[in-house]
Copies of this chain bind each other. A is one copy, B any other.
Amino acid sequence: MTIIATWEMSFEGVKIAQKLLKENKSNEDAICALINDVELNPEFHTVGYSGYPNEICEVELDAAIINGDNLHFGAVAAMKHIKTPIDVARLLMDSEYSNFISGDGALKFALENGFKKQNLLTGEAKAKYDVEIANKENADKGHDTIGAIIAGNGRVVSATSTSGLFLKREGRIGDSPLVGAGLYADSKVGGATATGVGEDIIKGALSFQVVNLMKSGLSAQEAATKAVEEFDANLKDRGETPRDFSIVCLDKYGNWGAASNISEFPFVVSDGEETKLYVSKNYGRTIEEK
């Protein structure tokens, strides 16, 4: 079984997930454990508990999961007070309708299903807010979504979790909970997940596009590179300035790819033997082991 996940913060979670897979846990169990490890870590301020808050200093979380076998998905957006939004998204996967819920409705669903209402704003995140809100126009826009894909044994599952853009509008939804934009999986082909400025990733349906390109015969790496380079060029062609976006993907056999339009994008790959940190450098032109 192969796992790929965005950013260095996923390293320990990937190891946890690989261990669970070896104990014959499902891809869903493993990917949620991977993401929980990041969500619950108070040192990571762009995902889950201790995420940086929105413009009114409330932490609002987005998460999603898709099963590439039947395309069942679950997603939550702008949900407050729940430390592990990926687990709420997972609970929604096999509902007949309303698999994607937001705001107070998502919180209500979580509480009805046994989740605990908790404070998500840590002192460190609040301190960052106090500094940056005074300088809102030039504020640091954190946007490091955890996204992961697990492929093997004929199954592909993808998942994401994020606190979204720092100082975002109340109720803002990025790409991460959006099937097609922030994540996609098709067990006949492969899976992909994106991180960066959601407002741009959405415009290119980037995760769906990567899977589409793999379906057309491209390798995982070719698909990732082509999707990112073409979309970046496409935006420039229209007079736009592309913001940051990065992609990781796996084909159904576990071959991986990664691409980015930023100078350094770290990601983690585990093939079941070893877990390694790589960095996509020079705007996606080279990939090095770190």
Q: Is A71 positioned at the interface, with any CB of B under 8 Å from its CB? A: yes
Once the chains bind, are A73 and B171 in contact (CB under 8 Å)? Answer: no
- Assess whether A1 is interfacial by the CB under 8 Å rule: no
Tell me the nearest residue of chain B to A55, going by C-beta. Answer: B98
Judge whether A103 and B102 touch: CB under 8 Å. Answer: yes
Instruction: Say yes or no: A101 contacts B71, CB within 8 Å.
Output: no
Q: Mark A229-273, 1 if CB is under 8 A from B, else 0.
A: 000000100111000000000000000000000000000000000
- Given A238-B70, A238-B71, A239-B70, A169 contacting B199 (CB threshold 8 A): no
Number of this chain's copies in the assembly equals 2
Q: Would B104 and A171 count as touching, CB distance under 8 A? A: yes
Interface code A207-245, partner B: CB below 8 Å = 1, 0 otherwise?
011001000000000000000000000010011100000
Cβ contact of A169, chosen from B75, B105, B179, B197, cutoff 8 A: B105
Contact B108 A202 (CB under 8 A): no
Contact of A208 among B108, B171, B208, B235 (CB under 8 A): B208
Contact of A78 among B71, B103, B108, B168 (CB under 8 A): B103
Show 18 residue pairs from A and B whose CB-CB distance is below 8 angstroms, ordered by the A residue. Answer: A70-B239, A70-B240, A71-B235, A73-B202, A78-B103, A97-B165, A97-B169, A97-B199, A98-B172, A100-B172, A102-B102, A102-B173, A104-B104, A104-B170, A109-B171, A179-B181, A180-B205, A205-B208
Q: Which of A8-58 contact B (CB under 8 A)?
A: 54
A197 to B170 Cα, complex, angstroms? 27
The 10 closest A-B CB pairs, nearest first, are A105-B171, A105-B170, A103-B103, A98-B169, A180-B205, A71-B203, A98-B172, A205-B208, A102-B171, A101-B171
Which residues of A come within 8 Å of B, CB atoms? 54, 69-71, 73, 75, 77-78, 97-106, 108-109, 141, 165, 168-174, 178-181, 184, 197, 199, 202-205, 208-209, 212, 235, 238-240
Which B residues are in CB contact (< 8 Å) with A212? 209, 212
A199, B203: Cα distance in complex, Å: 20
Instruction: Check A171 against B71 for contact (C-beta < 8 Å).
Output: no
Residues A102 and B73 in contact, CB atoms below 8 Å apart: no
Q: Which residues of the other chain, B, contact A54 by a CB distance below 8 angstroms?
A: 105
Q: Cβ of A99 and Cβ of B208 under 8 Å apart?
A: no
Contacts of A173 in B (CB 8 A): 75, 77, 100-102, 173
Whether B70 contacts A170 by the Cβ 8 Å rule is no
A97 touches B168 (CB 8 A): yes
